[in-house]
Every structure is written in structure tokens, then in C-alpha cells.
């Protein structure tokens, strides 16, 4: 025998997980083949009620450590930045079929309704997820303002109360040309985990940034991984869509704000998230029992295939519950992650 040490009793680990919701999340993902995750938070306290990774994750903690382009769920961040520049849900924005930035053409998703093209309200552009309208805002919303709006929503920051390793998102503070345009639709170098997407939604529901907690006796566990770690690399399959960089926008936007989201700003975001259900493409959530559901779908391109593969996202708030559903290489957020969310919310009661 070369080495021996007596066994010592471990410390009982206490978590905020709700066993019913954790099991429900795992059951909901049981038939999903790609890597996937469901994360549920209690906005009023920040308690992580469920953090499940599907069987396609092959044991990897996709829910908390995955690093993926968040796609159009990031328009929640965009909208907050636009509010801080004077916009409201009723402000008019231009939603053309395509927009070209430094030679790169961006377009809306397949099947985008013609009735929501042209001059529309920000609410309508958000509800139908008009990529071109948000890219058109790039001259008045700087990359620094996007980073600030993200931190105002509790993401791309450290989580000292979480008590476990996690990636809480990364939003570069500098980007130009097509990189900045791509950031406006949650692509480029913007990265989220399913946990950070749920935190973003929870902060809207709470009317203030939510600091998540999973391990109650957190001093017995490692600290959370800072979401602003510049050296972090995407998890397997989580490479964001490539985009080029070019000249900066010619219109100087306002300076970035460092203040957390306010209840008034959250109310405007809640208004637009509700519109995604009442008039947008998440109408399937309208009949979920209980409190009205607000949501935002997201489809994020990745890789070099033509057409590119996509990750499927959806985030939602339902009373004192905020949920993010993610499926890697899952197609459209509304058609892939949406039904999983509906199943989860309906059964959660």
C-alpha cells in the first residue's frame, strides 16, 4: 500500500431545486436526441428550481455550462438598450425583407409575415422577431450599450450566490460593422447558456436583476464561473455563426448606462413578451393555464453549412416562474423548443 487516508463524512448539500420540476424537466427532454436543456428559476428569489440537460448532452451540463449564440432571445437585451435611447413599445421601426451591412445581407426567418414588414411598432417587430428592424437600430445602439443592457438584466456577470460552476453569458463590449450587426440578433460573438437565458427572463419578471442561487450552503462548493471570462470557448456544438468585421457605424450612439433594469423598463419588456404570445408566433402558449405567459423565441445559426444549422431557443415568464428551453441543432425555436416549453409549463401548474 502506497497511500491511505481515513474516510471523512461529507457535508450535506442543500440546493434550491424543486424535485417535481427537476423531474418534469428531465422527463420533458427524455425524447430529445440533440444536446438540450431546460432551466427554471423563481424570479422573486433567484432560486434555481430546475436545471436539466437532456440525454443528447451525453452527461455534459448543457443547462449551466453550455455556450451558444442566443439568437433572437437576445432581442430582449436589444430592446432594453433601445428603451434607454428613448424608444417605447409603440415606437415605429423599419422592417424591410433584407438589410445589407458592409456587403453582408441579413434577412428575416423563412415565412416571416408580409403584414409585419415596413413601418411597424417595436412591439410588432419584437413579437414577430424582425431581424432587419433590430439590425437597423445598430447605428443608435452601440455594442457597449448592448453589453450594459445585458448586465442590467443580470447576465454576463458573476453569480456569487449560485454556489456551482456556471457560464452566465458573454457579450463583447466592442464590435464593429457586421460583427455589431450580428450581435443585434444574438449572433456574432454573443454567447449564452440556458441558465443565463432563464436569468434574463427572470429579471424581466422581477423588475430588477436576478442573482441566481442553486446551492444554499454555497461555501462548501466552488464559486460560479464568471460569465465575462474572455478566455472561455464554446462548448461542443456551440460555435456561433461566423461573421466578418468592418467599419464602425457613422452615427454616434449615446453612452452606455450602468444602471440595473428598472420596473418601468421591465414592464415595457413584459408588454412585448406578452405580444409574442397574443400576436406573434408563440400563440401556442396562449392556453397554458394560470398566469398569462410572456415569451421570446430564438433561432441561432451556427457552423459553415449552407443553409446553416440552427439552435432552437425559447424563454418565458409565467407568474413567479422563468424558464429557458434550448435544443442544439434543433431548427426553429418556435417549432422545436416551443412545444417542449408548453409541455413543461402546463404540467408545472
Judge whether 145 and 253 are in contact, CB under 8 Å: yes
| Selection from 38, 327, 40 nearest residue 202 by Cα | 40
The residue-averaged pLDDT of 21-26 equals 98
Q: What is the pLDDT of residue 225?
A: 44
The residue-averaged pLDDT of 190-206 equals 97
Q: Give the separation between CA 141 and CA 262, rounded to whole angstroms.
A: 19
Tens digits of residue pLDDT in 74-126: 999 999 999 999 999 999 999 999 999 998 889 888 778 888 899 999 999 99
Q: What is the pLDDT of residue 257?
A: 56
Highest CATH level, class, for 19-243+255-320: alpha beta
Q: What is the dihedral of CA 301, 304, 307, 313, to 10 degrees?
A: -20
Answer yes or no: is pLDDT of 297 > 80.
Answer: yes
140 Cβ neighbours under 8 A, 6+ residues apart: 82, 85, 251, 253, 254
Answer yes or no: is pLDDT of 53 > 90.
Answer: yes
Q: Give the separation between CA 267 and CA 89, rounded to whole angstroms.
A: 10
Answer yes or no: is pLDDT of 142 > 70.
Answer: yes
In DSSP terms, 301 is beta-bridged to: 310
Q: Give the separation between CA 22 and CA 112, rounded to whole angstroms.
A: 35
Q: Give the separation between CA 77 and CA 242, rounded to whole angstroms.
A: 21
Answer yes or no: is pLDDT of 10 > 80.
Answer: yes
- How many other CB atoms sit within 10 Å of the CB of residue 248? 15
Q: What global pTM score does this model have?
A: 0.86
Q: What is the pLDDT of residue 243?
A: 34
Judge whether 178 and 169 are in contact, CB under 8 Å: no
43 prior amide bond cis, ω within 30: no
Measure CA 343 to chain center.
Answer: 19
Q: Give the separation between CA 294 and CA 188, rounded to whole angstroms.
A: 26
Q: What is the pLDDT of residue 159?
A: 77
Judge whether 326 and 296 are in contact, CB under 8 Å: no
Q: Going by DSSP bridges, is the β-strand pair 118-121/104-107 parallel, antiparallel, or unpaired?
A: unpaired
The residue-averaged pLDDT of 310-338 equals 89
Answer yes or no: is pLDDT of 278 > 70.
Answer: yes
Judge whether 177 and 294 are in contact, CB under 8 Å: no
Answer yes or no: is pLDDT of 65 > 70.
Answer: yes
139 phi-psi bin (left φ>0, alpha ψ -120 to 50, beta other): alpha
178 phi-psi bin (left φ>0, alpha ψ -120 to 50, beta other): alpha
All structural domains of the chain with their residue ranges? 19-243+255-320
Tens digits of residue pLDDT in 203-256: 999 999 999 999 997 554 444 444 433 333 333 334 333 333 333 333 344 455
3-state secondary structure of 274: helix
For 309-323, give one letter per residue: b (16+ CB within 10 A) or e.
bbbbbbbbbbebbbb
Amino acid at each position: 500500500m502506497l497511500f491511505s487516508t481515513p474516510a471523512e463524512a461529507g457535508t450535506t448539500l442543500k440546493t434550491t431545486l424543486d424535485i417535481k420540476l427537476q423531474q418534469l424537466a428531465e422527463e420533458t427532454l427524455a425524447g430529445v436526441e440533440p444536446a438540450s436543456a431546460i432551466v427554471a428559476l423563481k424570479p422573486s428569489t433567484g432560486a434555481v428550481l430546475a436545471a436539466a440537460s437532456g440525454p443528447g448532452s451525453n452527461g455534459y451540463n448543457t443547462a449551466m455550462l453550455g455556450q451558444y449564440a442566443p439568437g433572437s432571445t437576445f432581442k430582449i437585451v436589444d430592446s432594453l438598450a433601445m428603451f434607454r435611447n428613448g424608444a417605447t413599445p409603440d415606437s415605429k421601426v423599419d422592417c424591410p425583407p433584407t438589410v445589407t451591412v458592409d456587403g453582408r445581407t441579413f434577412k428575416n426567418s423563412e415565412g416571416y409575415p408580409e403584414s409585419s414588414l415596413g413601418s411597424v411598432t417595436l412591439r410588432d417587430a419584437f413579437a414577430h422577431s424582425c431581424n432587419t428592424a433590430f439590425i437597423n437600430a445598430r447605428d443608435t445602439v452601440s455594442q457597449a450599450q448592448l453589453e450594459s443592457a445585458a448586465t442590467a438584466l443580470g447576465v454576463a456577470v458573476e453569480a456569487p450566490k449560485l454556489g456551482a460552476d456556471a457560464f452566465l453569458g458573454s457579450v463583447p463590449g466592442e464590435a464593429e460593422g457586421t460583427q455589431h450587426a450580428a450581435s443585434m440578433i444574438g449572433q456574432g460573438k454573443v454567447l449564452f447558456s440556458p441558465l443565463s437565458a432563464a436569468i434574463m427572463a427572470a429579471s424581466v419578471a422581477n423588475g430588477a436583476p436576478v442573482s441566481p442561487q442553486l446551492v444554499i450552503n454555497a461555501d462548501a462548493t466552488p464559486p460560479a464561473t464568471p460569465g465575462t471570462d474572455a478566455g472561455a470557448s464554446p462548448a461542443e456544438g456551440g460555435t456561433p455563426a461566423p461573421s466578418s468585421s468592418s467599419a464602425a457605424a457613422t452615427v454616434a450612439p449615446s453612452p452606455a448606462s450602468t444602471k440595473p433594469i428598472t420596473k418601468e423598463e421591465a414592464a415595457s419588456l413584459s408588454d412585448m413578451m406578452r405580444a409574442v404570445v397574443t400576436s406573434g408566433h408563440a400563440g401556442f402558449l396562449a392556453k397554458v393555464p394560470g398566469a398569462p405567459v410572456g415569451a421570446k423565441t430564438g433561432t441561432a445559426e451556427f457552423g459553415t453549412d449552407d443553409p446553416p444549422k440552427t439552435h432552437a431557443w425559447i424563454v418565458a415568464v409565467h407568474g413567479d416562474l422563468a424558464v429557458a428551453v434550448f435544443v442544439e441543432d434543433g431548427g426553429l425555436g418556435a417549432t422545436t423548443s416551443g412545444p417542449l416549453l408548453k409541455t413543461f409549463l402546463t404540467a408545472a401548474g
